[in-house]
Structure 1
């Protein structure tokens, strides 16, 4: 089957990428974990192969009819949160007040953001969403998803945080011809079980977020010789005396400041001048460690709680397949704490345990990378397709080869089947667990996730 061959090639490309990841070329703007600005992941070392695969997948896609599109989208690039902002400002004040030897740019430096805009969607974030909407519209056309918004056809929902609302508005401004008429669903702070499920699970907060031992690997790596070496690297870059007080926390703050300089302003002439590849990669690993143990495979509860969201997504697909809903577009705007657990539940995040004892070579070779899976505006798209399939009267599909070999021909009929395609950060993927398929039959997709769709008890698990 040609589609299977495509999937096999995709797997080969992925494996080639993993091998290459052992010594990846260092790219500063793609090395800041969840603080990385959204980037085009089709432009990689395997670009020629991936372009070929994309062309083949589009060729296969022409045999299917698009029925429905659903997206789960992290908000676009934002300004630092108040905690992050305070840490950067504290570092600046201490350096300016105590050391005249610091780099000239830092002597008069003022942070380009203040608490009034903390955590809000930045102009770059708006641009990310507008351009994403344009690409989405170009990809899905307007035959199934009309250009104009109507509540009968579309749902746009977001959390209580302004950055998710503004992301939804930015997306709608380009996706629809009548953006002023779009109706948005906002979930309240205390009753959001779909997009902020992590806030509604006491056990998750107790056993993971508020449990010091849950992040022991993060603590160990922050105290490691690697991170202590980073302190000395930063001390030298800042031209500080050996007696100057500097900590791993300060290194992380400088790293964050560089990340926001890049994401917000595309600047490399201030904080980023203090960075070295070794420092950036190790602090990025420190953040990835935290993400692994707080939101991904570190603990099952981290991603099991995303089952409520997965159920909602699958319900809309099943209802569409059975003619129970007219919704053709369901767009959800949320957070990294939403997309990472969902990606993990779906089987996209590497489960190899990350450890503080990893060598630099092992850190370079890891497949768990939030700069790739969870940058600003990370997105997961579920496309529902249908296709008329010839089946024998016994219900089995009738492959062409079987038709040629069997005589007399069994009686055949045509039935409509529904298929799921998942795109992660706009890239076509093999659906995990679905026999290396890019198009996974909806019933099989439901079977793969049967436990979390029908058996997992959120209330009991979160007690």
Structure 2
């Protein structure tokens, strides 16, 4: 009997130690979905994937970059929400006092907290951390692909494009300063001037296709209430836990605002012992998942429209590589052809572009989207999933497509390597390799999307089936939501 008790105690102690160890190892900054800072998450990769070796003699001849802007401040709307949270915390504390509830369990920082962005009237700008992210990225790319960036600068050789949103163009400038540092005569850093071009926001179908696509704007307008409804059970569950834990009458909106504050504090200020400490690691995982669901449904694989509207960008990438191949075949002299096309935009650009490439999918899922079939939503924690906003599109998140010219004795002469956040990533469309023959890349990954013309996808009115209210989907999705994803046979009937 005593030995059984001892064994039980040992088991309990080991579980306790393991649990504490997990909490100590947990870094909330890696679980902030698309609010994650690049330096924290850029090296988080799938350990099981072994990148392809670049064959001897293969040299890069062209590089395409599609990058998100760097870390930015909260937007004007969100700054207002955080200012309101200051008043709301005061109300919660006063209410507890009136109900004679002990405040011993309430975190000390609650009592005098003020928003770090109090007094700001504008927001959304690139902050210094974001500038560093892009500057350092430019330096690393030049170092990694030195042969590509050894020509004198010319805007037709190194094309830099950004959207007209200031944080995107500022990111392009920071990147260019890193890429061309030491190449000029300006200032102590020997910088040089370079050109950043932009299309009008109203007609930029390459980098802001989501703003020009009428069907997408209509879809998003009708889908957002559904997504919020889908997230409610998780927020209600965590709100109840917070009420029990701290004795304050938190509402669902309070939980949402505190989670947003956690993301801003952890990502922008490296503060993890205030708002983030309110939530347990398992609760953070659930909150992160709700954010990832939103990205999946409204920007990613949740609906084919989300990424098919990005086809002009994909065509532009392929066209630039074909021009580089032509220049190589015709022996154009250095400095007479484009060697890199560098683009700076938004999560709404990077996420659809990643989907067009079929990234973060299993092979069977890639075949589904090729057949225009819907995918299951990302599984609920604690199940593992590939789709994470912190990986897919953190601040400064990026995809690079590097075109290689290989010796004539290889079976193919030109190959495409895909790097996501600077790391090789498997393409299910190319047999799970990150290094794909250019013609195979065009045939298996690009061609199936090209039958979808941007004007047809975005401006031809959707039929009534596509426009029907989303509320009819709730019963199926809630059943899936509460199943903890255990029933792998369940799949969505509708293309979200």
> Into which bin does the TM-score normalised by the smaller protein fall?
0.7 to 0.9
Q: Which moved more, 1:449-458 or 1:184-193?
A: 449-458
Q: Given the two structures, how large is their TM-score scaled by the length of structure 1?
A: 0.79
RMSD of aligned Cα (Å): 2.5
Q: Deviations over 1:281-312 (max 9, x none)?
A: 11111111111110111111011011110000
Match of 1:329 among 328, 340, 350: 340
Please say if residues 221 and 227 of structure 1, whose CA atoms lie closer than 8 Å, have aligned partners that are also in contact: no
Counterpart position of 1:408: none
The alignment of Structure 1 onto Structure 2 pairs a total of residues equal to: 398
Q: After TM superposition, list the pairs within 5 Å mapping 1:24-423 onto structure 2.
A: 26-38=26-38, 39-42=40-43, 46=47, 53=50, 57=53, 60-100=54-94, 101=103, 103-114=107-118, 115-141=120-146, 143-146=147-150, 148-176=152-180, 177-178=183-184, 179-206=191-218, 208-212=219-223, 216=226, 218-224=227-233, 226-236=234-244, 238-240=246-248, 244=249, 246-323=250-327, 326-350=337-361, 352-354=375-377, 360-361=381-382, 364-390=383-409, 397=411, 417-423=413-419
Structure 1 residues 269 and 430, CA, compared in 2 at 3 Å: closer, same or farther? closer
The answer on 1:447 being equivalent to 2:443 is: yes
Structure 1 residues 147 and 119, CA, compared in 2 at 3 Å: closer, same or farther? farther
Following the alignment from structure 2 to structure 1, what is the Cα–Cα distance between the partners of residues 29 and 306? Answer: 28
- How far the C-alpha of 1:250 sits from its partner, in A, is 2.0
Please say if residues 84 and 253 of structure 1, whose CA atoms lie closer than 8 Å, have aligned partners that are also in contact: no
SS in 1 for 2:407: strand
Q: Deviations over 1:339-394 (max 9, x none)?
A: 00111111013354227xx6543xx3222111111111110001011012238xxx
Following the alignment from structure 2 to structure 1, what is the Cα–Cα distance between the partners of residues 46 and 313? Answer: 34
* Structure 2 unaligned residues grouped into runs of 5+: 1-21, 95-102, 185-190, 366-374, 460-496
Structure 1 residues 285 and 43, CA, compared in 2 at 3 Å: closer, same or farther? closer
Following the alignment from structure 2 to structure 1, what is the Cα–Cα distance between the partners of residues 446 and 173? Answer: 34
Structure 1 residues 337 and 161, CA, compared in 2 at 3 Å: closer, same or farther? same
Q: Given the two structures, how large is their TM-score scaled by the length of structure 2?
A: 0.74
Structure 1 residues 148 and 80, CA, compared in 2 at 3 Å: closer, same or farther? farther
Following the alignment from structure 1 to structure 2, what is the Cα–Cα distance between the partners of residues 259 and 227? Answer: 16
Following the alignment from structure 2 to structure 1, what is the Cα–Cα distance between the partners of residues 445 and 72? Answer: 33
Structure 1 residues 133 and 117, CA, compared in 2 at 3 Å: closer, same or farther? farther
Following the alignment from structure 1 to structure 2, what is the Cα–Cα distance between the partners of residues 429 and 198? Answer: 25
Please say if residues 308 and 449 of structure 2, whose CA atoms lie closer than 8 Å, have aligned partners that are also in contact: no
Please say if residues 44 and 391 of structure 2, whose CA atoms lie closer than 8 Å, have aligned partners that are also in contact: no
Counterpart position of 2:424: 428
Structure 1 residues 345 and 222, CA, compared in 2 at 3 Å: closer, same or farther? same
Structure 1 residues 454 and 286, CA, compared in 2 at 3 Å: closer, same or farther? closer
- How far the C-alpha of 1:62 sits from its partner, in A, is 4.0
Structure 1 residues 127 and 117, CA, compared in 2 at 3 Å: closer, same or farther? farther
Structure 1 residues 134 and 62, CA, compared in 2 at 3 Å: closer, same or farther? farther
Following the alignment from structure 2 to structure 1, what is the Cα–Cα distance between the partners of residues 255 and 395? Answer: 22
Q: Deviations over 1:142-184 (max 9, x none)?
A: x332264211311111111111011111111111023441011
